[in-house]
Structure 1
Amino acid sequence: FLARAAAELGRSLPAAAAGPVWSVTSFAGTGDRVLPGLLVLDEERGWLQQPVDSAWGPAGGTRRRGLAELAAGRAFGLRLRGRGSAAPFLEASLTAYLARRILADLGHADEAEALLAAWRAHDQAAGELPAPLSLLPREDLFGAQRLLGRGPLVWLAIERRAGRDRLDAVLNGFLKAGGFWTTEELRRALEERTGESWEAFFRDHVYGRRPPPAGD
Structure 2
Amino acid sequence: MFERNILIIDDEEDTEISIDAYVDIFDVLKKDMNLNYTLNFHWEKTIEDAKKILNEKDIVFDTLLIDYDFPNEVIPTKGINLVKTIRESINKRCKIVFYTMHAPHELNSQEYIDLINNDVFRFVPKDGDLIELKYTNTKFNKSDQLIVEAIIDSIKDENPVSKALESFLVDYSSILDGLKLTIDGEDYSIQKVLESIRLYEEPGNKFVQNLLEMSIMDYLEMK
Structure-1-length-normalised TM-score: 0.29
Q: Which has the larger radius of gyration?
A: 2
Structure richer in strand, relative to its length:
2
TM-score (norm 2): 0.29
